Amino acid sequence: MNDNILDDFDEHLYLGEGDDNEVVAKYFSPLEGDIAAARLRSEGIPCFLANTTSQSLMPHLQLVARLHVRPKDIEQAREILGEAAIDAGVPDNSGPIKWSTAVILIVAIVMGMYLALLLVRQL
């Protein structure tokens, strides 16, 4: 197998004409879709991206690139793509306040206000 999966164009990696397919994921970035497709192809799952050219030509339309796989591969594809998903949840910042940072910030604000006052008095 070719070391560069993005350049691996063996016919077994793609769906044939007339094959049924389902959308397994949608991406606003064609690059993100290409990476997901490469990941699935590296696992031997035939797939293709739809709508990437029109998205590149008309980015202002906010089109999505759709990643298609065979119906029999959809569960495995979702599992593989789920492993690579990044948890974009809100971080829990309920920990203790760093007082040293707060004190430095307050001192910087007070010094800035003092310097601004001195500058105004000189004008």
Residue 15 DSSP class? P
Give tens-digit pLDDT for 48-89: 888 777 666 776 666 788 899 999 999 999 999 988 665 545
- Full domain range(s) for residue 41: 5-83
Determine, yes or no, domain membership for 37: yes
**Residue 11, in any domain of the structure:** yes
Please state the domain count of the chain: 1
Residue 110 within a domain: no
Domain assignment present for residue 35? The answer is yes
Report which DSSP code applies to 89. P
Would residue 39 count as lying in a domain?
yes
Within a domain: residue 54? yes
pTM > 0.75: no
Residue 44 lies in a domain: yes
Span 78-120, pLDDT tens digits: 999 988 665 545 555 555 667 888 889 999 999 999 999 998 8
Residues 22-60 as b or e (16 or more Cβ within 10 Å = b): eebbebeebeebbebbebbbeeebbbbbbebeebeeeee
| pLDDT digit string, tens, across residues 28-52 | 888 888 999 999 999 999 998 887 7
**Cα(113)–Cα(75) distance, integer angstroms:** 60
